[in-house]
Structure 1
């Protein structure tokens, strides 16, 4: 019984939010259909009479990165059709399911094959799905993004970030240097790219010093 009460409360909250946001009533039918589908699934599959039991998570959740989201929005724009793909893939990765996130982004590039932002994020999700390695598939996605937007800093920046996450710091440098060159002087993200490039250079210099033979 409690499950039905919760479902009803969720439905009321959803329609209240739709009304408060001033969204057209044409969208209300979609929300109603989604709730009815959920109710049908609950009626067919739910077993509310069974006692609850803790279940160990099969996937490892990942921490959220709001700075990365802000950079992506600053580079590729906010409040566009891209948000649906980006936010959904973020949620899947946070929940420990990067494979589904990659499949979602693959659907995105299939629907908009000339969108560099979608190809860029396909590369990022494939990198996560492959254990934070820049796999051949991820490389193809990033290179496609660069080819579609050769004057945009976004694809190159995130291509470099994927290499950083993979521990391939030297490979990342040229992409971040190019991203900085392509960033407009007044862009909000230019300083962030410059700072990351400076830190990367210092790290690479420290690595080079460590590899030098000791002086007798």
Structure 2
């Protein structure tokens, strides 16, 4: 019993020593970068608040354990992101919300990705990029399926730009991800038909359509369509 108390006391002493070192290092760094004298009281208050919290709740003798994230990361294909940027543009006010949505998806929060893009739509209600991105985000959020809400977003994008290849392409991609390959085929075919020969990303759409045709032919036991 006495030995356990001695261990706890030593651990707490080491914790206070580490806290003092952190405080001193923080103060030295702030002094080195030239923090204004009038702000030192705020820094001191913050350090004292942290010390008080440690005094009340700190338990350095407790064993450590790994912490698992609340959400599993969802991979975002960089090639498809680059293709989306080529098709819909980048570095614009509306597409910035797609970047935020990608970040939320990567950390496993597709619901936040949907919220981020909806926030962009409130500011840019006629953005082709955002409605297309919303369809993709909703499909991911709804278990990888082309849900009615996802389909509505893709169709709204198609209404905004009937001759743009992005809405049918990404709708087709959502069907591919859902395992509904036959449903994806006409959308990718339309996306290719809407893409001019001179556009840089046309070969990427053509390649994906060819691979899809090959897969459908192999699964059906028939030659691919011309």
Hey, what's the Cα distance between the residues in 2 that align with 1:5 and 1:84? 37
* Structure 2 residue aligned with 1:163: 175
Q: Deviations over 1:44-91 (max 9, x none)?
A: 9x9565656532112110223110111011001121113321111111
Given the alignment of the two structures, is residue 66 of structure 1 paired with residue 58 of structure 2, yes or no?
Answer: no
Hey, what's the Cα distance between the residues in 1 that align with 2:116 and 2:24? 31
Aligned Cα root-mean-square deviation (Å): 2.8
| Larger mean Cα displacement after TM superposition, 107-116 or 177-186 | 107-116
3-state SS of the aligned residue for 1:113?
Answer: coil
| Larger mean Cα displacement after TM superposition, 97-106 or 46-55 | 46-55
Q: Deviations over 1:166-187 (max 9, x none)?
A: 0010111111111101112121
* Structure 2 residue aligned with 1:201: 213
Given the alignment of the two structures, is residue 184 of structure 1 paired with residue 196 of structure 2, yes or no?
Answer: yes
Residue segments in structure 1 that go unaligned for 5+ positions in a row: 10-35, 211-216
CA apart distance, 1:137: 0.4
- 2:90 maps to which of 67, 78, 84: 78
TM-score when normalising by structure 1: 0.74
Equivalent pairs, count: 178
* Structure 1 residue aligned with 2:8: none
- 1:100 maps to which of 106, 112, 115: 112
TM-score when normalising by structure 2: 0.71
Structure with greater Cα Rg:
2
* Structure 2 residue aligned with 1:90: 102
Closer/same/farther in 2, CA of residues 115 and 55 from structure 1, 3 Å limit: same
Hey, what's the Cα distance between the residues in 2 that align with 1:183 and 1:5? 59
Runs of 4+ aligned residues of structure 1 deviating over 4 Å after TM superposition are: 1-6, 46-53
